[in-house]
Structures are given as C-alpha cells and as structure tokens.
Amino acid sequence: MKVNGFICEGHGVASGKSDNQRYPKGTLNQQLPYFKERGLDLSTYFLGTINLNIAPYHYKIGNPKYFFVAIPWSVYIPPENFYFFDVVFFFRDMEYKGLIYMPDPLTKVDHIQELSILELILPRISGLSYGMNVCIEIVNEQLQLFKS
C-alpha cells in the first residue's frame, strides 16, 4: 500500500541529536550490535530515523520482517522488543529501500510515538526537511494501515 505523509520532527534520541545525556551517540548506535547479532545489519543506513506522520492513517502490526524480543540495549530502561518492516521511500523521482523501525509499544517506556507516526531507517538522503510531503510504500502483510 502506498501512503502519503509529511516529515515531522522526532525526539532526536535515535540519531543522538537530542540533549539526552543517556544516549549521546543515539539509541540506534547502541542497538546496532544487538540487531546485527540477530541477523539485521543496519550499518549501510543512516543511524537516525525519519519521522513520517501518516495521519489520518494509523497502523496494525501484521507479520514483521524482523521481530526481536527483550533486547537489553540500555542500562537505563528495561529490555525492549523491536519490530522492523520493509518500506520504500519515494523522493524526487528516486526510490529508497529501507525499514520501518518500531520499538514494541508494549515494552517501550520512553519517547512514545503517536500511532500515526512511523520511524523510517533509510540511507542518507540529501534535501529532506521538516514539513515535506513524501510517499512511502509498505508491505500489507507486514503492517496494515487504517484510516482513523
């Protein structure tokens, strides 16, 4: 399914852009080795997320590409589960393959996202800015979208 959304500002913790002293290099940087040892190598992607607001849509988790249970990546919070879903990001007549990154809402204790926000892990893409409207395509079997 293709859906349009706009790029919005996130918490800045995935990339390390925030003032959060617990994760100065970003949460993704700290999680990277845990994902890699379970078969997901994110080293070719930019280690931050693009936050995409897809309102009025929200999601329901189907069969993710990856699901990791009880990852003990931080000494500050309990272990978390993580979902990853395939995504294609369309920008300036180009297609970029990546992943939707989703800490399990049932185990996430910090930096909670709205159900209309998807966090995208993609290669570095020049020219993106907050407020831009873009299109993504997801695999319906992995993540279903519904209008609110």
pTM (2 decimals)? 0.89
- Write out the two tokens for 23: 């994760």
Separation CA 71–CA 35 (nearest Å)? 9
Q: Are 126 and 54 in contact (CB under 8 A)?
A: no
Query: How many domains, in total, are found in the chain?
Result: 1
Structural domain of residue 112, as residue ranges? 2-147
User: Residue 15: what pLDDT?
Assistant: 44
Q: Tell me what pLDDT residue 77 has.
A: 83
Going from the first residue of the chain to its last (148 residues), give the mean pLDDT of each consecutive group of 10, the final group possibly shorter: 90 49 69 96 92 95 97 89 98 97 80 80 95 97 93
Mention every residue, 6+ apart, whose C-beta is less than 8 A from residue 104: 80, 81, 82, 83
CATH of the domain at 57: 2.40.30.30
